């Protein structure tokens, strides 16, 4: 397959850019971007990655990217692409290394004025009880080999069965917190080994646990359905499948490289290694990916239990009295088999969302009953110094973006550059002056994850709301954060 020509970006409207179909591209590309985002794309390789994805076999519709787009492995971060179930491929690079990295939001019955006097104690206890950082391990609640297999098949439901959660939690998780057809036998022994003691850990990088406050309601009706109101204290969890998911991705990227010629696949970028969905390799990867996704659901469920325990301890009240109910849990590094209407007929496709989030609107059959009439909450975290958002999907998202939207702010500086540019700054002190108390595994992490390293999430959200694929429901402001 020939490499596409250097990409041209053509503006469609205020919120969309087109990459014209050229060379080996099977379809055009579409990037959700305003003029500010367009400027940031200059000199960045991510538009080329959008074009490269458009060369893959079985692509249905356009190769797309959200406004939090930046360079990733194979697919860009923010990439969305759907492939025909019979003729298309599945690509580990289209899912990412941190399989089912995602976010969960809890709401509490606490108000900001109740929490502020205790924020240091609360954050310190969360930091102590929820292991963070590279290679972090659970101090307790480890799982055995047999239990791990059950967890990989049952996801968050397995954690709830152990008494570390509420049955009602599962009603408010994407896919009920469990992907069917997960196959633990498709994981290597090394992947299984890495998963034994990392359930209930945040890990490193941009993963976090954040104490926030609802400071603006944009859609009162939807906010009421989601149980959100101004002044309410919340807890945001951002993490994924830890070392187990990373190992699954690495194992299948390596093994699929050896089968490309067997399947007649000639790729514009070797990082787009893939296999036909119907092939043995494709089926095995999907089984392993689903198992890793279930591990991530279980991980966020375990952290929910730990957070509830800490809140109860710090405030001297029962979990039921404090609330700490799940608002929702969404995935943003995943490939899912879904039915969609495309050009007037039903198509079964494998939708890759890498750094992108589902945004299914009211009435969609895959939404649990609790949110069927409203559409499910779409959770968009920002950075530790600014805002996060709760959105809801629209019918236009189903027509245009496979029911997908952005997943966060998106980096504008690499971790190395952020660390270099912010050398000598005391990020924790700067955040404290804004009323945000932060604990992190190291000062290096604070520099790498500072606000300057990211786009302003408000700008990103304005693009997807302006494009009509989501609506704003509420805005959250951080008051405390734990980082790995």
Q: What pLDDT shows up at residue 203?
A: 87
Q: What pLDDT shows up at residue 414?
A: 87
Q: Give the predicted TM-score (pTM) of the model.
A: 0.96
- Residue ranges of the domains in the chain? 10-96+337-354, 103-330+363-483
CATH topology of domain 103-330+363-483: tRNA-splicing ligase RtcB (3.90.1860)
Handedness of CA 13, 44, 412, 92 (dihedral sign): positive
Catalytic residues, by residue number, are 407
User: Each residue's pLDDT tens digit in the chain (484 positions)?
Assistant: 444 447 999 999 999 999 999 999 999 999 999 999 999 998 889 999 999 999 999 999 999 999 999 999 999 999 999 999 999 999 999 999 999 999 999 999 999 999 999 999 999 999 999 988 766 666 556 788 999 999 999 999 999 999 999 999 999 999 999 999 999 999 999 999 999 999 999 988 889 999 999 999 999 999 999 999 999 999 999 999 999 999 999 999 999 999 999 999 999 999 999 999 999 999 999 999 999 999 999 999 999 999 999 999 999 999 989 999 999 999 999 999 999 999 999 999 999 999 999 999 999 999 999 999 999 999 999 999 999 999 999 999 999 999 999 999 998 888 888 888 888 889 999 999 999 999 998 888 898 889 998 999 999 999 999 999 999 999 999 999 999 7
Residue that the structure tokens 């001297």 belong to: 316
- The answer to whether the beta carbons of residues 483 and 132 sit under 8 Å apart is yes
Torsion angle defined by CA atoms of residues 283, 284, 290 and 295, in that order, rounded to the nearest 10 degrees: 180
Question: CA 29, CA 55: separation in Å to the nearest integer?
Answer: 10
Question: CA 213, CA 228: separation in Å to the nearest integer?
Answer: 10
> From the CA atom positions of the chain, what is the Rg in Å?
21
Q: What pLDDT shows up at residue 140?
A: 55
Q: How far lies 219's CA from each of 167, 184, 397, 466, in Å?
A: 28, 42, 18, 15
**Burial of 397 (C-beta count, 10 Å sphere; 0-12/13-18/19+):** buried
Q: What pLDDT shows up at residue 471?
A: 98
Closest to 257 in 3D by CA, of 94, 77, 92, 73: 92
Q: What pLDDT shows up at residue 43?
A: 80
Helix (H, G, I), strand (E, B) or coil at 411: strand
Question: CA 389, CA 406: separation in Å to the nearest integer?
Answer: 11
């Amino acid at each position: 397959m020939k490499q596409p020509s250097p990409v041209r970006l053509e503006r469609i409207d205020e919120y969309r850019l087109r990459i014209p179909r050229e060379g080996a591209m099977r379809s055009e590309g579409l990037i959700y971007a305003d003029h500010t985002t367009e400027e940031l794309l200059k000199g960045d390789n991510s538009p080329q990655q959008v074009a490269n994805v458009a060369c893959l076999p079985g692509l249905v519709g356009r190769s797309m990217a959200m406004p939090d787009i930046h360079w990733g492995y194979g697919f860009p971060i923010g990439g969305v692409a759907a492939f025909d179930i019979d003729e298309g491929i599945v690509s580990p690079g289209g899912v990412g290394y941190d399989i089912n990295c995602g976010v969960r939001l809890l709401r509490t019955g606490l108000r900001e004025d109740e929490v502020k006097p205790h924020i240091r104690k609360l954050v310190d206890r969360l930091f102590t009880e929820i292991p963070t950082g590279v290679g972090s391990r659970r101090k307790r609640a480890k799982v055995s080999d047999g239990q791990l297999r059950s967890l990989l098949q049952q996801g968050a439901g397995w954690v709830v069965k152990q008494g570390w959660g509420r049955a009602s939690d599962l009603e408010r998780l994407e896919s009920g917190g469990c992907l069917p057809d997960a196959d633990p036998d498709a994981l290597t022994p090394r992947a299984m080994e890495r998963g034994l003691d990392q359930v209930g850990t945040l890990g490193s990088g941009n993963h976090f646990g954040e104490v926030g406050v609802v400071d603006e309601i944009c859609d009162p009706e939807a906010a009421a359905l989601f149980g959100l109101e101004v002044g309410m204290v919340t807890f945001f969890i951002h993490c994924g499948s830890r070392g187990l998911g990373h190992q699954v991705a690495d194992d299948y990227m390596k093994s699929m490289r050896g089968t490309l010629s067997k399947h007649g696949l000639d790729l514009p970028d070797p990082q787009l290694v893939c296999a036909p969905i119907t092939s043995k390799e494709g089926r095995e990867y999907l089984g392993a990916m689903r198992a890793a996704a279930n591990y991530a659901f279980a991980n966020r469920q375990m952290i929910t239990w730990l957070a509830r325990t800490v809140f109860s301890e710090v405030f001297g009240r029962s979990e039921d009295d404090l609330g700490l109910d799940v608002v929702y849990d969404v995935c943003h590094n995943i490939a899912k088999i879904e039915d969609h209407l495309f050009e007037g007929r039903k198509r079964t496709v494998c939708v890759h969302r890498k750094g992108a989030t589902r945004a299914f609107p009211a009435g969609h059959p895959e939404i649990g009953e609790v949110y069927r009439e409203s559409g499910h909450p779409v959770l968009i975290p920002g950075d530790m110094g600014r805002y996060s958002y709760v959105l809801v999907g629209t019918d236009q998202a189903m027509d245009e973006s496979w029911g997908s939207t952005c997943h966060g702010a998106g980096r504008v500086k690499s971790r190395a550059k952020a660390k270099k540019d912010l050398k000598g700054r005391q990020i924790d002190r700067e955040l404290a002056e804004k009323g945000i108390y932060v604990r992190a595994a190291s000062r290096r992490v604070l520099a790498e994850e500072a606000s300057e390293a990211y786009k302003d999430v408000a700008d990103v959200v304005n693009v997807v709301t302006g494009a009509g694929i989501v609506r704003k429901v509420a805005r959250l402001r951080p008051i405390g954060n734990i980082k790995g």
